[in-house]
């Protein structure tokens, strides 16, 4: 009979910033439960780990596993290290599905010869071939869903034909779905919409089919109490284990040294010193994750609204990759001088450190789920500025379910106006509801902290998952 001490899992992760951080954090949680974790990801992650993260070696050996460190294993996705994967998603996905998938399969097959893996935990975006491979290797598969339960529920109900949906070409059509606030089509994840590239929609179709066939567990980076009705509504369809928030513990006020983030770019730590000199709750933090690239009009409008607001701000504008510099947007002439002293623009930062800084007042975010989870777990109110993917749904949840933020109103395919950005800044910092929003933010943080302590809802979900792994393993070997 197997015991928890013997459990080994493999987590296969996409090399994007938004996927590698929650993967690392989940790995750490499993390790704290005594599980051995191997992370399988691409050479790009190895390259960035060495370049930007004070890591001197990513070599792993058996001693690491005894010390319960993460074991890293890398494969090539078939593209050169400086290829812009975010900008060329179709080429990236194709390469992953062909060369990458072949390399990944042979790595996983070889790893399975060296250890008795109880489960392969996979990012659904990387599903290709892993399902079939896992069947051959007789290893069960789990999904690590890096979005809220809400987008899983909406997608599953749509792609598996569970509920009836209105015409998705009309952004104003309304739909009522179990466990969710009243939604309009404009609030749906954009990867569901007919206008979205077919290869990305196919990923969702494959994922929903896999949930009905051989994926045994869906693990979501959320908290039961954050999305209770939605989680309950999925229990008879495709149950979700709520194992979030996948954040570094220090942002919940625990374990100060525990910083579990990986930078895919060089973080400018000087911004922390800059924040140290700002009064409490005074700075607007603006960042749009790792993929979004603002258009010039968007930069101009944000800049103008910041200038007019007279508030302090820290703004992340990601650098262009080598060879793409000419496409970079520019800050309006004179902007930095005119806001001198109250504004700082950096190319990348350690976001969790920034979010946990007392100088922060609010976070203007694209509503990427990691940024949202990190902000909610830090008790920082949000200004939602959603672009695409899961972000419109997350913006809706922030306002309708969490109550810890506001969201910009603007038409699909249009750019939020200067006045609208200013309105949101005023509302969240000085408006009549500002105090209530801040109180709600603190309440949400407290829920997050409690979920992770021993016996909390997420802690129990992780325990249950590990127990399930042992049962499944014993059953398969019986
Ligand atoms: C992508 C999708 O865009 C998003 O919609 C989905 O929910 C997850 O995958 P991304 O756009 O990168 O992710 O955003 P997000 O999920 O917020 O992840 C960004 C990560 O980068 C966060 O962990 C954040 O802490 C980190 N970050 C961001 C930094 O460390 N420094 C920065 O300056 C900005």
- Shared domain for 79 and 131, answered yes or no, is yes
For the stretch 376-396, pLDDT in tens is 999 999 999 999 999 999 999
**Per-residue pLDDT for 321 more than 90?**
no
| pLDDT (0 to 100) of residue 340 | 81
- Shared domain for 272 and 216, answered yes or no, is no
Mean pLDDT of all residues in 263-289: 96
Residue 295 pLDDT level (bands cut at 50, 70, 90) = very high
With b for 16 or more beta-carbon neighbours within 10 A and e for fewer, the 127-149 pattern comes to: bbbbbebbeebebbbbbbbbbbb
* Mutation choice for ligand 1 from 17, 265, 286, 315, CB with most ligand atoms inside 8 A: 17
| pLDDT (0 to 100) of residue 121 | 97
Angle (CA) 223 454 235, round 5°:
35
Tell me the whole-structure pTM to 2 decimals: 0.96
Say if 403 falls within a structural domain.
yes
Does ligand 1 lie within 6 Å of residue 389's CB atom? yes
Does ligand 1 lie within 6 Å of residue 351's CB atom? yes
Compute, in angstroms, the gap from residue 86 CA to the centroid of ligand 1. 12
- Shared domain for 244 and 324, answered yes or no, is no
Write down the mean pLDDT value for the chain: 92
Compute, in angstroms, the gap from residue 97 CA to the centroid of ligand 1. 23
Number of domains in the chain: 2
Mean pLDDT of all residues in 57-62: 55
Does ligand 1 lie within 6 Å of residue 369's CB atom? yes
**Per-residue pLDDT for 66 more than 60?**
no
- Shared domain for 173 and 104, answered yes or no, is yes
Residue nearest to atom 28 of ligand 1 (CA): 289
Say if 260 falls within a structural domain.
no
Residue nearest to atom 9 of ligand 1 (CA): 18
Residue 63 pLDDT level (bands cut at 50, 70, 90) = very low
- Shared domain for 383 and 468, answered yes or no, is no
- Shared domain for 184 and 329, answered yes or no, is no
Q: What percent of the chain has pLDDT over 70?
A: 96
- Shared domain for 457 and 371, answered yes or no, is no
**Per-residue pLDDT for 252 more than 50?**
yes
Cross-strand partners of 144: 219
| pLDDT (0 to 100) of residue 59 | 60
Compute, in angstroms, the gap from residue 466 CA to the centroid of ligand 1. 27
CATH number for the domain harbouring residue 67: 3.40.50.2000
Residue nearest to atom 27 of ligand 1 (CA): 351
| pLDDT (0 to 100) of residue 61 | 42
Mean pLDDT of all residues in 247-260: 85
- Shared domain for 144 and 18, answered yes or no, is yes
Mean pLDDT of all residues in 326-333: 87
Say if 401 falls within a structural domain.
yes
Say if 257 falls within a structural domain.
no
5 phi/psi in degrees, rounded to 5: -60, -25
Residue nearest to atom 2 of ligand 1 (CA): 368
Residues 6+ apart with CB under 8 A from 34: 4, 5, 7, 68, 466
Say if 258 falls within a structural domain.
no
**Per-residue pLDDT for 64 more than 70?**
no
Say if 261 falls within a structural domain.
no
Does ligand 1 lie within 6 Å of residue 391's CB atom? yes
- Shared domain for 142 and 203, answered yes or no, is yes
- Shared domain for 11 and 33, answered yes or no, is yes
Q: What percent of the chain has pLDDT over 90?
A: 78
**Per-residue pLDDT for 319 more than 90?**
no
**Per-residue pLDDT for 415 more than 80?**
yes
Does ligand 1 lie within 6 Å of residue 370's CB atom? yes
Does ligand 1 lie within 6 Å of residue 377's CB atom? no
Compute, in angstroms, the gap from residue 154 CA to the centroid of ligand 1. 22
Domain that holds residue 64: 4-250+452-477
Does ligand 1 lie within 6 Å of residue 384's CB atom? no
Does ligand 1 lie within 6 Å of residue 390's CB atom? yes
Mean pLDDT of all residues in 417-436: 98
- Shared domain for 130 and 171, answered yes or no, is yes
Does ligand 1 lie within 6 Å of residue 220's CB atom? no
Helix/strand/coil (H/E/C) assignment for every residue in the chain:
CCCHHHCEEEEECCCCHHHHHHHHHHHHHHHHCCCEEEEEEEHHHHHHHHHHCCCCCCCCCHHHHHCCCCEEEEECCCCCCCCCCCCCHHHHHHHHHHHHHHHHHHHHHHHHHHCCCCEEEECHHHCCCHHHHHHHHCCCEEEEECCCHHHHHHHHHHHCCCCCCCCCCCCCCEECCCCCCCEEHHHCCHHHCCCCCHHHHHHHHHHHHHHHCCEEEEEECCCCCCCHHHHHHCCCCCCEEECCCCCCHHHHCCCCCCCCCCCCCCCCCHHHHHHHCCCCCCEEEEECCCCCCCCHHHHHHHHHHHHHHCCEEEEECCCCCCCCHHHCCCCCCCHHHHCCCCEEEECCCCHHHHHCCCCEEEEEECCCHHHHHHHHHHCCCEEECCCCCCHHHHHHHHHHHHCCEEECCCCCCCCCCHHHHHHHHHHHHCCCCHHHHHHHHHHHHHHHHHHHCCCCHHHHHHHHHHHHHHHHHHHHHC
Does ligand 1 lie within 6 Å of residue 241's CB atom? no
| pLDDT (0 to 100) of residue 333 | 93
**Per-residue pLDDT for 186 more than 50?**
yes
Does ligand 1 lie within 6 Å of residue 190's CB atom? no
- Shared domain for 76 and 214, answered yes or no, is yes
């Amino acid at each position: 009979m197997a015991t928890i001490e013997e459990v080994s899992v493999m987590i296969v992760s996409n090399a994007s910033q938004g996927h590698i951080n929650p993967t690392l954090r989940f790995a750490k949680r499993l390790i704290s439960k005594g599980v051995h974790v191997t992370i399988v990801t691409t050479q790009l992650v190895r390259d960035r780990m060495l370049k930007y993260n004070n890591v001197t070696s990513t070599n792993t050996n058996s001693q690491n596993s005894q010390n319960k460190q993460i074991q890293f294993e890398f494969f090539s996705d078939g593209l050169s290290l400086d290829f812009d994967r975010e900008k060329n998603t179709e080429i990236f996905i194709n390469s992953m599905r062909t060369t990458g998938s072949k390399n990944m399969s042979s790595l996983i097959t070889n790893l399975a010869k060296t250890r008795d893996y109880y489960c392969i935990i996979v990012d659904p975006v990387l599903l290709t071939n892993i399902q079939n491979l896992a069947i051959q290797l007789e290893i069960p598969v789990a999904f690590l869903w890096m979005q809220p339960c809400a987008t899983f529920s909406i997608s599953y109900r749509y792609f598996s034909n569970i509920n009836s949906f209105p015409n998705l070409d009309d952004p104003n059509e309304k739909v009522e779905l179990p466990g969710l606030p009243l939604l309009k089509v404009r609030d749906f994840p954009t990867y569901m919409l007919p206008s979205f590239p077919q290869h990305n929609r196919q990923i969702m179709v494959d994922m929903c089919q896999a949930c009905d066939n051989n994926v045994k567990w869906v693990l979501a980076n959320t908290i039961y109490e954050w999305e209770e009705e939605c989680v309950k509504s999925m229990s008879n369809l495709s149950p979700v284990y709520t194992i979030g928030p996948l954040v570094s513990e220090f942002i919940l006020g625990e374990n100060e040294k525990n910083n579990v983030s990986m930078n895919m770019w060089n973080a400018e730590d000087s911004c922390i010193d800059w924040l140290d000199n700002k009064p409490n709750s005074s700075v607007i933090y603006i960042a749009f994750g790792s993929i979004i690239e603002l258009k010039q009009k968007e930069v101009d409008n944000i800049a103008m609204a910041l200038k007019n607001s007279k508030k302090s701000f820290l703004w992340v504008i990601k650098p262009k990759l080598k060879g793409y510099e000419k496409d970079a947007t520019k800050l309006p002439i004179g902007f930095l001088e005119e806001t001198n002293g109250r504004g700082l623009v950096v190319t990348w930062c350690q976001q969790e450190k920034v979010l946990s800084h007392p100088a922060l007042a609010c976070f203007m975010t694209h509503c990427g789920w990691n940024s949202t989870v990190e902000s909610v777990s830090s008790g920082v109110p949000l200004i939602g500025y959603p672009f695409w993917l899961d972000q419109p749904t997350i913006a809706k949840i922030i306002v309708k379910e969490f109550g810890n933020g506001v969201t910009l109103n603007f038409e699909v395919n249009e750019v939020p106006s200067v006045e609208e950005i200013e309105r949101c800044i005023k509302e969240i910092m000085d408006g009549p509801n500002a105090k209530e929003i801040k109180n709600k933010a603190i309440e949400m943080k407290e829920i997050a902290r409690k979920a992770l302590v021993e016996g909390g809802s997420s802690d129990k979900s992780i325990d249950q998952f590990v127990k399930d792994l042992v049962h499944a393993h014993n059953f398969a070997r019986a």
